Structure 1
Amino acid sequence: MDYLRTVINEEPSQISRLNNDENADCVHIKLLRNNTFVTVTDPNGNTKIGGLKASSGMVPELKGGPKLSRYVAEATSEHVGRKAREMGLRSVVVKVNGFSFFKKKRQAIMSFKEGFGNSIVSIEDTTRKPHNGCRLPKKRRI
Structure 2
Amino acid sequence: MATDTENTDKAVKEEKKAPEVTAAAETSNEEPKKIRRSKKKTVTSGIVYINAGFNNTIVTIADEDGKTLCWSSSGASGFKGSKKSTPYASQMAAENAAEKAKSFGFEKADVYIKGVGTGREQALRGLISNGIEVLKIVDLTPVPHNGCRKPRARRN
1:79 equivalent to 2:79? Answer: no
For residues 11-50 of structure 1, the aligned pairs below 5 Å read: 24-48=45-69
Amino acid at match of 1:108: A
The answer to whether the Cα contact below 8 Å between 2:116 and 2:141 also exists between their aligned partners in 1 is yes
Larger Rg: 2
Counting aligned pairs with the same residue, the percent is: 32
- The residue type paired with residue 29 of structure 1 is I
* CA shift in 2, pair 1:122/1:90, >3 Å: same
**CA contact under 8 A between 1:37 and 1:53: conserved in structure 2?**
yes
More helix by share: 1
Once the two structures are superposed, residues 52-92 of structure 1 have per-residue CA deviations (whole angstroms, 9 ceiling, x without a partner) of: 11121212xx2557323221101100111122122201211
Q: Does the CA contact (< 8 Å) of 2:57 and 2:117 recur in 1?
A: no
The match for 2:16 is none
Output the aligned Cα RMSD.
Answer: 2.1
* TM-score, with length taken from structure 2: 0.59
Which residue of the other structure, out of 101, 113, 136, is the alignment partner of 2:128?
113
TM-score (norm 1): 0.65
Which runs of at least 4 in structure 1 moved beyond 6 Å after TM superposition?
none
2: CA distance, partners of 1:75 / 1:53: 12
Aligned partners of 1:38 and 1:76 also within 8 Å: yes
1:90 alignment counterpart = 107
1:122 Cα offset (Å): 0.6
Code of the residue aligned with 1:56 in structure 2: it is: S
Answer yes or no: is the 8 Å Cα contact 1:39–1:47 preserved in 2. yes
Matched, 1:99 2:120: no
Unaligned runs of 5+ in 2: 1-43, 149-156
What is the CA deviation profile of residues 30-72 of structure 1, one whole-angstrom value per residue up to 9, with x for unaligned ones?
0111111110112222212xxx11121212xx25573232211
Pick from 84, 87, 94 the counterpart of residue 70 of structure 1.
87
Candidates 52, 75, 78, aligned match of 1:57: 75
